[in-house]
């Protein structure tokens, strides 16, 4: 216990309170959202390891990846909010956040497999899963061309 003037400060109580907040937050999440957070952490870790092995560890690329994950979590959060606040219209069984989190889990798992392959891990039969996932991804679309103003009247 540390005393600052009239205020008594107990660092152990502070750590306990912080742990309680984290556990309370974690328990309040759905299983799919918890799984998404776990695979996102695993993807970041394997991505950093793969970049270090490749010799191209780059903070700009890491920042871009973290920004994508933040947007994915915002989409899951938005869907969860819509599901809970529009249950009168969507029904009580609408699995909004879980469905969106499940879709993002799949992309994270694919990324983890790609990172593992970059580090030299033999994926064995998972190599087929990775090949099918690559084939089923939509092709990258070219960015839209700015209008030049021609043809406007």
> Can you give the residue ranges of every domain in the chain?
31-136
107 pLDDT higher than 80: yes
Distance, CA of 116 to chain centre: 18
Q: Taking the complete model, does pTM exceed 0.85, yes or no?
A: no
- pLDDT tens by residue, 60-96: 888 898 999 999 999 998 988 887 777 777 666 667 7
Closest alpha carbon to 79 in 62, 95, 63, 57: 95
Rounded Cα gap, residues 46 and 115, in angstroms: 6
pLDDT score, position 108: 93
Banded model confidence at residue 153, pLDDT cuts 50, 70, 90:
very low
CB 103 within 8 A of CB 39: no
pLDDT in tens, 42-64: 999 999 999 999 888 888 888 89
Please check the confidence at residue 143 and state whether its pLDDT lies above 70.
Answer: no
């Amino acid at each position: 216990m540390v005393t600052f003037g009239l205020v008594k400060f107990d660092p152990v109580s502070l750590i306990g309170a912080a742990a309680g907040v984290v556990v309370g937050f974690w328990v309040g999440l759905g299983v799919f959202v918890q799984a998404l957070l776990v695979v996102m952490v695993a993807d970041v870790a394997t991505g950093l390891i793969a970049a270090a092995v490749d010799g191209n560890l780059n903070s700009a690329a890491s920042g871009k990846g973290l920004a994508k994950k933040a947007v994915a979590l915002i989409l899951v959060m938005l869907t969860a909010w819509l599901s809970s606040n529009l249950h009168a219209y969507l029904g009580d069984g609408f699995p909004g956040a879980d469905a969106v989190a499940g879709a993002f889990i799949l992309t994270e798992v694919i990324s983890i497999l790609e990172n593992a392959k970059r580090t030299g891990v033999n994926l064995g039969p998972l190599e087929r899963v990775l090949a099918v996932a690559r084939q089923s991804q939509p092709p990258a679309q070219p960015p839209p061309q700015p209008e030049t103003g021609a043809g406007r009247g």
